[in-house]
Structure 1
């Protein structure tokens, strides 16, 4: 027996080993010699004991070929430590056919989230538990934002019943006043909440904000004066601004760049889902139970869904013990070996958003896209009646009814296409790939606007199809520009970026009102379509310099890879 001193001072007795007659000059001979030097059959030995068999034989044989093995073990002391541990071995060494141990989280040690730096380290794909938890979160933000849309559009389908109620003595002008207050409050709120919410829980802002806007809807229903209605509808606009930036942050935290376009597009159908539900719920309740219930019903739904969001949705994978979905290199400035404190909210806004020329390019593009979007939704029915001679508003509304349906398919496909382009060439600029899709869609908008304008008055099917395709091409850029803005800035600035883009977009929507009405009044419908085509052209010019633009993650990764070369 041979003695070996263990770290605790005890002497471990090792059995004498037979020599191998074959020279240890290959991996095959190493395995053969190691098996001869082991006291256990190969099938029952753990990895430490297999290394021990090789080491023991090579030490006793004095073979020079032991060096490669020793280099793999780093040094002799590490090898001796292996010998000490291998006498007793690991539990798995003594029972190699047993199943891997299961952690308290229900995962084997090989999939323990604490062992990885990001979810991309899972070789076999995301764990089932993570996929399930992420799906719950995704469904939560889709339904949650759809309810934001529901409580935003409740007045649209309740107002006609309010005007018909003699007790309120309300006319169309007063309804217009209320609806004009909302976008001003909403656009400003989206910007401010995006900035101030950068350090707050997006789940709390989403669920809590939805509950608050739902309560505002209920309070609106108890009013009887214009002052009451205007005040509460302005409050609704302010609270509505919490929804979009919160969803953007949650999507960014839970979905990696390679898949984000697909899921962002799927989340975007919340607009269509909420827009579809509003006339059914609010409109039906108002007509059947009175105008108050047109506000009460969406409010009750909003409070319920908001509470469920707070109970089920989580901000990020890290909140439930998983690593982040992907690593984002942090650009921390160091001074005298100490990391500087976190940037202030104002510093994040200035440095990452307002001083970023590409964010301004995206914002101005959004401006022109929303001019087209609001110009289409506000004026197409009037155009069909005034210029094409459609009999009534109902028939005209049917011909433009395909807009939302086309938008649903367009946003889904835009996300998939952009993800495909990124996967096809991961070394290229990720944001640039999405910009290329936006440019292609914008050309499609222009082509379909021309088709709609040139369609004969008798070709109702062609008008419907062209409006469907306008929606298809219009909602793709609306979705992807927001995603590009999120990917251009760091995680802490996603809300600020989305808020700023949303604010500028609603300025564009406001310019589709009075300015376009003046164009139609003074120059006719032909000039109206020319204005929309010019807006498309301006969007393309703004996007052209960004076709190869890299995301924040890519830029920070490039900086990290460059540092060792400069050192």
Structure 2
């Protein structure tokens, strides 16, 4: 098989004429919407296995190798910078790629890298491998955004996008327990190797089970199938254009997306700061063992699971698809929850776990809604690029939660850590305020800078 033929597999499938009657169309939509959702859910949950394995074994690895906290922070910062760039580049690639292979091959690659990480020992090797992992991790979410935009229409997407988004809460909740237990029983290296094996297996499954857009399967668009006027309006406004013109006009020139991206940066400082350093905080401040600390982080993800669904459903139900008001409400909830964990001076496990639950509940709402709002504000064929663009800013914020936040904590202790998170939360809310007056039907061409 030639390289040209092999690469053709990665390209998006061409549109096929609609040759089915209404009953067959309904049956096909019901079947594939379920199977695609299950595939995306399982796939992205396991992407989190191969992404957060390192975070889950980090305290054990630092203790075993005798390294300082800043060494782990440097690896994390490199990961988030490269991952943010990869989210955008991969978003552009995924808009013109077949998501079944794009997402599946990316997950297989991250699994292989996790296994190699488990057999490495030098800081240079760790940094190089985790930077490469960051690149392939960027192949995970853009296909999800593309398929969710293609198979679910505007007036239902908030709920279903929220359901899909909870996949990383499931992955993020399970991997600290799995990797932490493996690290304590067999050593931290097994906490990397086992998630890698799981990633390879699920990646192969994605290559078999996922499909491309409805149009590639001889089906009408989801807007036409559901008779969703908002969806049909976006489809009418999304004329076929060259990729660069789409990016310049509907992403780079879209004021709405720039404000969302800036807010996303500060949301991610808090989200990743709590995720990456929460177990270290509990070890140092409350004397928890690694597995007990990771079990508290588990409740962050449980809260995120519930909060994500509430945020998506609420933005559909109470604000008719306008994502901004719910974003601001949840951002204020983040601030109150962070202040609660900061000022909690008792070592009662249930109170601490409850604090993490509420942080997760409120923080994953904006994390999901901002990305969805960006996809809905862009060209119909650039959902991956739009979510990737705001993702760049999100993971610049994540990079700030690595080495810079570690240095803040080294200099001013955990009070400095929580003060930094409180300030960034307030900045995130302030940046969303100008968008409150925007109509839910974003006029794409008029939202240019």
Q: Secondary structure at the match of 1:150?
A: helix
* 1:408 maps onto 2:301 in alignment: no
Match of 1:369 in 2: 267
Question: Offset at 1:514?
Answer: 4.7
Q: What 5-or-longer segments of structure 1 have no aligned partner?
A: 1-104, 114-126, 334-341, 559-567
Q: Is the 8 A contact 2:315 2:326 kept in 1?
A: yes
Q: Deviations over 1:54-87 (max 9, x none)?
A: xxxxxxxxxxxxxxxxxxxxxxxxxxxxxxxxxx
Q: Secondary structure at the match of 2:286?
A: coil
Match of 1:487 in 2: 376
Q: Is the 8 A contact 1:153 1:278 kept in 2?
A: yes
> 1:382 and 1:293 mapped to 2: Cα distance?
20
> 1:320 and 1:540 mapped to 2: Cα distance?
42
Match of 1:446 in 2: 335
Q: Deviations over 1:218-272 (max 9, x none)?
A: 3444545544443332211111111111111111111111111111111112112
> 1:349 and 1:203 mapped to 2: Cα distance?
24
> 2:406 and 2:60 mapped to 1: Cα distance?
27
In structure 2, relative to structure 1, the CA distance for the partners of 1:527 and 1:217 (3 Å cut) is closer
* 1:204 maps onto 2:110 in alignment: no
In structure 2, relative to structure 1, the CA distance for the partners of 1:213 and 1:551 (3 Å cut) is farther
Q: Is the 8 A contact 1:183 1:506 kept in 2?
A: yes
Question: Offset at 1:500?
Answer: 1.2
Give runs of aligned pairs for residues 483-522 of structure 1, distance below 5 A: 483-517=372-406, 519=408
Give runs of aligned pairs for residues 202-351 of structure 1, distance below 5 A: 202-223=99-120, 225-285=122-182, 293-326=190-223, 327=232, 328-331=234-237, 342-351=240-249
**The structure with more helix, counted as a fraction of residues:** 2
Q: Is the 8 A contact 2:82 2:134 kept in 1?
A: yes
* 1:537 maps onto 2:426 in alignment: yes
The alignment's TM-score, normalised by the length of structure 2, stands at: 0.81
> 2:347 and 2:186 mapped to 1: Cα distance?
40
Match of 1:436 in 2: 325
Give runs of aligned pairs for residues 380-399 of structure 1, distance below 5 A: 390-392=286-288
Q: Is the 8 A contact 2:176 2:295 kept in 1?
A: no
In structure 2, relative to structure 1, the CA distance for the partners of 1:500 and 1:556 (3 Å cut) is closer
Q: Is the 8 A contact 2:300 2:356 kept in 1?
A: yes
Q: What 5-or-longer segments of structure 2 have no aligned partner?
A: 1-17, 224-231
Match of 2:41 in 1: 142
In structure 2, relative to structure 1, the CA distance for the partners of 1:490 and 1:371 (3 Å cut) is same
Question: Offset at 1:550?
Answer: 4.2
Q: Is the 8 A contact 2:377 2:444 kept in 1?
A: no
In structure 2, relative to structure 1, the CA distance for the partners of 1:238 and 1:379 (3 Å cut) is closer
Question: Offset at 1:164?
Answer: 7.6
Q: Is the 8 A contact 2:177 2:295 kept in 1?
A: no
The alignment's TM-score, normalised by the length of structure 1, stands at: 0.66
Q: Is the 8 A contact 1:217 1:296 kept in 2?
A: yes
> 2:119 and 2:345 mapped to 1: Cα distance?
48
Q: Is the 8 A contact 2:323 2:373 kept in 1?
A: yes
Q: Deviations over 1:73-113 (max 9, x none)?
A: xxxxxxxxxxxxxxxxxxxxxxxxxxxxxxxx998x55354
Question: Offset at 1:440?
Answer: 0.8
Q: Deviations over 1:530-563 (max 9, x none)?
A: 44333232222221222243456x64799xxxxx
Q: Is the 8 A contact 1:249 1:491 kept in 2?
A: no
Aligned length: 418
> 1:164 and 1:518 mapped to 2: Cα distance?
18
Match of 1:81 in 2: none
Question: Offset at 1:152?
Answer: 1.4
Q: Is the 8 A contact 1:221 1:295 kept in 2?
A: yes
> 1:460 and 1:293 mapped to 2: Cα distance?
28
Question: Offset at 1:461?
Answer: 4.0
In structure 2, relative to structure 1, the CA distance for the partners of 1:380 and 1:290 (3 Å cut) is closer
* 1:132 maps onto 2:31 in alignment: yes
